[in-house]
Every structure is written in structure tokens, then in C-alpha cells.
A and B are shown apart, each in its own frame.
Chain A
Amino acid sequence: MTMNSENNNKDPRHLRRILAIWLPLAAVGDLLFWFLVGPHVPPGDLTSTASSNQFDFNILFVIALPVMIGVWVFLGYSIRTWSAKRVGVAEPKGGSAARSNLRAQVWWITLTTVIVLFLAGFGTVELVIGNGSGGGEGPNPAWAPTGATAAELASATWSPTDNHVLPVQVIGQQWQFTYRYPTFGGFESSQLILPAGTDIEFNVTSLDVIHSFWAYQLSVKADANPGVNNIAYTKTTKTGNFTVRCSELCGIWHGAMYNYGKVVSKSAFESWATSTEAANAANTANLAPYAFTYTPDANGAAGGYYEDGTVTPYSTVEVYGAKQPAS
């Protein structure tokens, strides 16, 4: 936008005019966004990753908006000022001055490079200090909260007072998510309940195809791959409800693969977890022992997950080759 105009005395200073239109628009646009829209930008502030996701989005937006307004103002100004229909519009001048302009080119390239490098650096910092920012980091996370190494979690316990990281396993299968809590005897639940004010480690895996665990308001998204433990971190900050949706196409009922979760107080969580552990004890005994991944059976489906042998895993009815549960 800093194109060098070869002004002669009759010619208005187009770039200054454009700048004069752009500056107030960009300033007002940014301020309106930052103060009016910004605080309400999804995914909210239920967790640390949600807050930083919102913050990052807003930073990107206040940088992007002036750029977009700048281009639009330039386009609009050009269309209005240099239309051939306009009476008295000057004949354009060809020649080398119209073919390139070193100052304009250097300015443009420098400006875009600076913005881009700043954004990459900013994103990296946010990613690293945000413990992976809620994205799935695979089995060997590069960034993790303290106390979340595999060795520490293997012997982990969790109570409302000890500030430990809470590991929760997310198991995706066609077409539902279930959750196991290894620190509470490895019981499995179709409900995702989390304590507030706690670092959470999600261990995401799948029994069949690739799903993606997207806890929208928690700002956590991690693909569920069969045979892979995909780890994602977040820290809950307050109580509230959230939605879990599958975010990777996983077959015909992908659109119906969602449920709801809750962040509750630490004590409420503990009482829910201990009571569910006790109530589910008989079922838990029949489950495969808690593991990071579960091996499917010879049919290529996760039949091996049911150890008791009384469950007939699959019927012969095929829809897209996926065999439906018999029941």
C-alpha cells in the first residue's frame, strides 16, 4: 500500500488519500472487534487452551483485519477513481515507471514478510507455552505440563487436593466415544466428567477407523487412530458444559457421533468417579485391562476388546463394508 506515486502538481496524492481512508477504518474495525466481539469468540474460556485459542484468534484477527481493509479500500478507490466511465479520467501512462517500482515492491515484500514471521513466531510461542495448545501430540508429546510424563502417570493417583494431572482415556469407535479413567480402576463410561482447575491428559485412541475427538469448548482436538495413543493436554479453569463431536469423517453415522460432557468441581468429580468406579466394578472386570491401545481381532474389527466371549461382536450385515453390531 506504500506505492510510490510520482506526483505532479495536478495529480492528487492517491496513496495519501487511500491511507487516510484506511487508517480510521482499520482502527475502528480493530477496536470494535477487540472489545465487542473478541471476548465472545469461540471456544470461550472453559479451559486454559480455550482461552489461549481465543486470544490467538483475536490477535490474528486484529492483524488480518487492517490488511484486508487496506486491500479493499485500495480496490474500491481504484474502481471509483480510475474507471474508464468516469468523466475526465486521465489516460494511463505505460512505460517503465508503470511496469515496476522498486520502492513499492520492497515495501510490500518486507511488510508481508515481517507480518508472516511475527505470526509464525507468535504461534510457536503459544504452542509451546500452551503445552501443545490442546492439539493431539501423538504418543510422545513434545510439550506437557509438569507431572505428566509416562512414568509419573503410571503410578498416578488423583485426589482433589494433590494437584496431580488427571489422565483420561478417550476411545473412539464407530460411532461413539467412551472414556476410561485409569486413576479410578480403569472404569469405562459413556459420560465425560472432568474436575475444574485440573491439568487433564487425554489419551485418545480408536478401535476401528480414524475419528477425531473434538471437545469444542475445551479447545481440545486429537485424532483417534487405531493402535496409536494420541495425547492432548488442557487445563480446566471453571465449571461448565461442553460438546464432544467427532471431527474426522468416520463412516455413515459420523454426523451423529457426538455427546456432551461436564466440568464439575473437584469434590463433585471425586464423588462421581468413586461411586461410578464402584457401580461399574463388575463391568470393569470384563473389560480389557487398561492399555494405551487395544488390538482389534482377526476380522480387522475391535472384537478383542470384549474378553468374555459372550458378546457376538459383528453380524454379517454390511453397509459400506462396516459390519453392524448384532444387537
Chain B
Amino acid sequence: MTLTAERLDDHSGDVATPPTPAKNSERLPRSGWLSQHLGTAIVGFIVGYFVGHWLGNYIGSSYAYIANSGTNAIADTLGLALGVLGWFAGIGALNYPLAKLVGRSAPHDFKEVDDWSKYFRYTTDHKVVGKQYVVGVLLFLFTGGLLAMAIRTELLSPVTHVFGPGTYITIVSEHGTIMMMMATSIIVGPLGNYFVPLMIGSRRMAYPQIEAFSFWCFTAGYLVIFSALIYGGFPTGWTGYAPLQTQAGAGMVSYLLGFAVIGLGMMSAGFNLAATIINYRAPGMTWSRVPIFVWAILATSALLTLATPTLFAAGLFGLLDKTAQTAFYVTEHGGSSYLWQNLFWFFGHPEVYIMALPGFGLVAEIMPVFCRKPLFAYKVAAAGMVGVALLSFFVWQHHLFQSGINPDMRPLFMLTTELISIPTGFIYLVGMGTLYKAKIRFEIPMLFALALFFNFLIGGVTGVFLSDVPVDVTVHGGFFVLSHFHYTIMGGLLFAFMAGLYYWMPKMTGKMLNKRIGKWHFWTMFIFFNLTFFPMFIIGLLGQPRRVFEYAHNLQGLNDFSSISAFLLGGSFLIFVWNLLWSLWISPEKAPPNPWESLGLEWQTATPIPLHNFERIPVILTDPYHYSEEGAPDVADFGDQQLVSSSSTAAGDTSSSN
């Protein structure tokens, strides 16, 4: 359908009007390579780094302990911090706030550069940011994945060392940190930013500048965490426990500052999405009509906004311990090693659901499309996500069951942890109810969605074992828990991300991802994921702790099996990359406007989507799940006499089965 009606009026005043640029006073951004883009950001980072490093050395030169130790954490911290500042200045993130600060009209307020170079710029179009995020999270994912290959290479043998222990622990730490940073954003960043405004009938995000800021925080975080390799790595894993953190060298600064920068991006993305969802819904988009994916993003946004500040503060405390000789985490000077653990996991457990909820929402969103049935128990699904989000703040001490703090609280945290499996279980009720008496189309997104139900079941049920304090004595800190969270995050979130990418790529690029290659991708990923991680449950039960480079000889068979499967799992990602190359560049196939016959609002816009999404803000008439329903109401009124009719995709034939 076309959306080219020359109607400029809005239905109501509370939605954004696309601003018409003032012809004379507007300072247009310079186009071409003279303006600000990724290149100037890199230059800014390098310049900022050297300025900060010099400043740090200047400050530190008068302290004996710095001169004696030969390392100067002040220089490392200031170097990276000013590097990040230079990155923001270089990309142009500071233009708008600085102009506003001095009372000038904002530069390039809405006027965007509209050629391919916009993908390398600080841009406020949520669709461009979404695509930038796709590339960003894939960069994180493939870096972390290569490190995982290195880990499995080392673990091929219980004694032979491919890497030295220092290199190995650096690889483990970088893998964990990069993957965790990636996983917080892998759905929220690309698909959340891109599709939430489309799904709620909005022309824009609530804070376009902050949306761009969150993406460039994310990329700056990549540079900062990667700089740890240049600094010689850090030995703490992604959990960064003090006092090992306090003891560690310069690479630790990259970890702490990297998490702080990423945290800034997570908070920005979170409250921007929450504000958008709450305030920018189209008229008629009541809470009972909001797509379930948007509910999931809203719950996730609440967690991002409320939990991440704890990580940010914890990281700053760590940096102060390293630079200003404070003692937040130093026991013998009045601090506490438990403080980091508490702060980290107070963030860290909501974080787990930051990584789970978008996956649930995405899968629940696409299942009705491929089942040709309404979403089952919509209200239960929404309540489950809100319930998970609330409960996730009350479970963090299950990470500290053997740490030696308040044993009498253990039954409580065991209870809350097990309670959270009730709202988590809602997603199974929803999924199974939607499958019941459906007519399932096994397209690639649906395969990935079904795989989530298979994988997450294993991941979720093993979580119950971990929540049981007596059993946790054996499974805590070993390969069992390692396998558990890979099953939830990789088996859940990453499979959901793939489902979303295959599902929405036609909308984002106008091109279909190849189904044949997609099937190869799915089946290799699904099979080798399970073959890689399932043996790790057994390895863990047989007594192998996490993050070790030596293990018992009798576990070599299982470890080798897992390693070889992991290499093949890596191969399945090559198939995925090949599919992207093939379908987007080598042999692109033009996508129909609505290839999956979805009723979702995002599919009713033109492809490519106009800059402001909807020529006219639609009026939402019902929720987008009226599949196979005779006489179903129209989804939305676009005001151009071309109503989107549910009955056009509803089933005509109602004959019963065999």
C-alpha cells in the first residue's frame, strides 16, 4: 500500500510534527568527508587519548607510589576517558547539547545527510540507528565468538597449553565481557530502536539525540574494552571481582571504564525507549493493544534504566580505587570485597533479564504470524514480563550463596529465585497456547523461535537446580552454570535475535534473506549449539570449575567433543555471514511489502520506510493479532481510505482436520 497522501494534519497535538526546516536561518551540516563522521570520531578518540594520557602522567609524576610501581592508572584512566570524550566530539554528539547550552539554535536539528554516508554519522533517524546497531552488535558478536573459539582450542587438551595462562585468562575475560556487552543490546539496540516507533505508530523516538548517543556509547565501549588487549589484558573474567580487580594492571581500567561507557549507553537507550513507548503511542494504541514485543522492550527499558546506574557507580568506585587510592573494595582499609559483588550482581541479575525479556517478546511477537492464530493469553504474557522485571531486583544474592554473607537470607533468595520461574513460565503457556491447533508455517524466523522454546527450557530448568542452595554447592562456579547461562543467553536471546533478523530484514533492507542458506544456518546453529553446550552440564557436574586451563584427564573426551562442536558452531556463523552477503549484495531478491502476511503495524508502512515513518499518524483500532478471524476489525486507520484489513489475511476455509 502507498502512504503518499498529501495530508499534513495530525490526529492530535501530542504527536510530533515533522519540522519543516527554516529556509534561511538553518545552518545546514556540511556534507561529504569534511563533516563529522566515523573518521573524525576515530581522530577525536586518538587525540583525546594522548591528551588524557599526558595529563595523567603530569598529575601522577609527583606521587612516589606511581613512580615506584611503574604503572600509572591515572594516565590510563584519563587517556581512555578523554578518548571517549574525543570520540563524542568527533562524531558530533556534543554539537547539539553545547549549542543549546549557549542558547544557539541547534545545528542540523532534523536535517539529515541523506546518502549512504549517513550510516557513518551521528544521526537521529531511528531507522539508521537501528541499522548501525545491527552492524555494531555483529562486530561485538564475532569478536566474542572468535575468542570463544580460542578458549575451546585451549581446552582441547587438559595439559598442553596453546596459550600461556596470562593470555588464556585475558581471552576468557574479554570473551565474557564483550559478549555480555553485546547481549545487553543485541535486540534492544537494533530491533528495539528500529521497530518500536513503527509498531506503536510513532514518527520518531522521544529523544532522537539520546538515541544516537546510546549507539555511539556502545561503539565507544567496544574501543575501550578492546584497548584492554593493548594494555595486557585483565584477569578477572567479566565479573571483575575485587580485590583481584584492585590488584590487576592497566587492562582493568579498560574493563571498568568500558562498562561505565556501555552503561551510559544502556541507560540512555532504556529511558529513551521507555519514554517513547509511554508517550509516543499513536491514538488508539491502548496498553491492551500494544504489541507484545513492545511490552518486552518496555520491561527491559525499566531494567536498563534502573539497574544500570548501579554498574556505573560500581565501575567508578573501582576506578577511584585504582587512581585516587580510595578503598571501596579494599578490606584492610575499611572497604569490602563483598561490596563489589553486591553492587555488581544487583545490576547483574536484572541484567540477565535485560538479556532474556527482549527474546521472549520477539518470539511471542512472531509466533502468531507463522501460526496464523492470535497470540494466546496476551495479558498473561505482558504480566509475566512485568513480573519478571520486578522480581529480578530481588534475586541477586543467589550469586553469593557460598560467599559467606548472611546465611539466614539464603532461603529467601532461594524462594525469590524459584518464584521468578513462574512468570518466566508464562512465556511457555503463551507459546504452547499459540501453537495449539495452529497452521504452522516453518519459515526461518519460526524455526529460530521454536528453537528458543527448546533451548530455553533446558536453560531455565537448570536454573532451578542452581537456585537450590544444597545443589548449588556443586554446580556453582563450574561448567554447569556456564552451560546454564549459555543456554539462556545464546540459546534464548541469540536465537531470538536471528529470528528477528530473518523476520524483519525484508522490512529493513527491502531484500529477503535466502531461505535455503537460512535453513543450513538454522540447522547447523541449532544442532551444534546443543552439542557444544549440553556436554558442559556433565563436565560441570563432574567437577570442572569455570575459567580453568587445566582439567582432569578423564574429562578430555567430553571437552574435546564440546570443542569440536564449538568449531562447527562457529562455522554456522560463517553460513550466516554468507547468507547476509548473498542476499544483500551478491544476489539480492526483492522482498514483497509484507512477505509473512503479518498484521503488525510496522509492515503496513511503505518500503523503504519514509523518513518520518507515517505520512499521517495512524489511528489504532485493535491489536495486531486478529489472525484467522472472520469479521475481524481493521488494525489501523491510516486516513487514506486504504484500511488495513485483517480479513484480507484471515482464513476463509474453516473445514476441520482429519
Contact = CB atoms under 8 A, between A and B. Distances in A.
Contact of A99 (B330, B375, B467): B375
Nearest to A209: B244
A219 interface: yes
B627 to A, nearest CB: 5
Interface in B501-548: 541-543, 545-548
A64 B461 CA distance: 7
Contact of B437 (A49, A92, A250, A319): A92
B524 to A, nearest CB: 19
Given A124-B411, A138-B407, A221-B402, A93 B628 contact: yes
A60 B464 contact: yes
B234 interface: yes
A223 B300 CA distance: 32
Nearest to B372: A92
Given A92-B628, A116-B421, A143 B237 contact: no
Given A3-B436, A60-B464, A75-B453, A248 B241 contact: yes
A119 interface: yes
Interface stretch (B272-280, B349-357, B425-433, B636-644): B425-433
A46 interface: no
A182 interface: no
A255 B115 CA distance: 52
Contacts of A255: 165, 168, 547-551
Looking at chain B, what size class is its interface with the partner chain? Answer: 35 or more
Nearest to B244: A209
Interface in A283-327: 295-296, 300, 318-322
Nearest to A127: B469
Interface string B202-246: 000000000000000000000000000000111111010101101
Contacts of A198: none
B113 interface: no
A220 B477 CA distance: 13
Contact of A221 (B239, B249, B477, B653): B477
A227 B331 contact: yes
A121 B605 CA distance: 52
Contacts of A78: 432, 435-436, 438, 440
Interface residues of A, number: 110
Interface in B632-658: 632, 650-658
B474 interface: yes
A104 B404 contact: no
B473 A219 contact: yes
Contacts of A83: 439-440, 442
Given A100-B377, A134-B473, A256-B165, A247 B545 contact: yes
Contact of B656 (A72, A90, A253, A300): A90
B45 interface: no
A98 B332 CA distance: 63
A134 B472 CA distance: 10
A53 B306 CA distance: 36
B405 interface: yes
A90 B655 contact: yes
Contacts of A64: 461, 464-465
A98 B425 contact: no
Interface string A220-240: 111101111011100000000
A91 B469 contact: no
Given A221-B402, A320-B247, A94 B330 contact: no
Interface in A132-175: 132-143
Contacts of B439: 82-84, 89-92
A246 B473 contact: no
Given A99-B625, A137-B407, A255-B548, A92 B165 contact: no
Interface string B445-469: 0000010011001100100110111
B320 to A, nearest CB: 16
B558 interface: no
Nearest to A211: B244
B70 to A, nearest CB: 7
A319 B166 contact: yes
Nearest to A130: B470
Contact of A71 (B432, B441, B545): B432
Contacts of A279: none
Given A42-B541, A98-B376, 8 more contacts: A60-B471, A82-B440, A84-B372, A92-B372, A94-B373, A117-B418, A223-B404, A231-B404
Interface of A: 1, 3, 8, 10-12, 14, 41-43, 49, 52-53, 56-57, 60, 64, 67-68, 71-72, 74-75, 78-79, 82-85, 88-95, 98-101, 104-105, 108-109, 112-113, 116-117, 119-120, 123-124, 126-128, 130, 132-143, 204, 208-210, 212, 214, 216, 219-223, 225-228, 230-232, 243, 245-256, 258, 295-296, 300, 318-322
The 7 closest A-B pairs by CB, nearest first: A94-B629, A230-B404, A255-B548, A90-B657, A133-B470, A247-B477, A138-B404
9 contacts: A11-B656, A100-B379, A109-B422, A127-B411, A135-B407, A204-B404, A247-B476, A318-B69, A318-B249
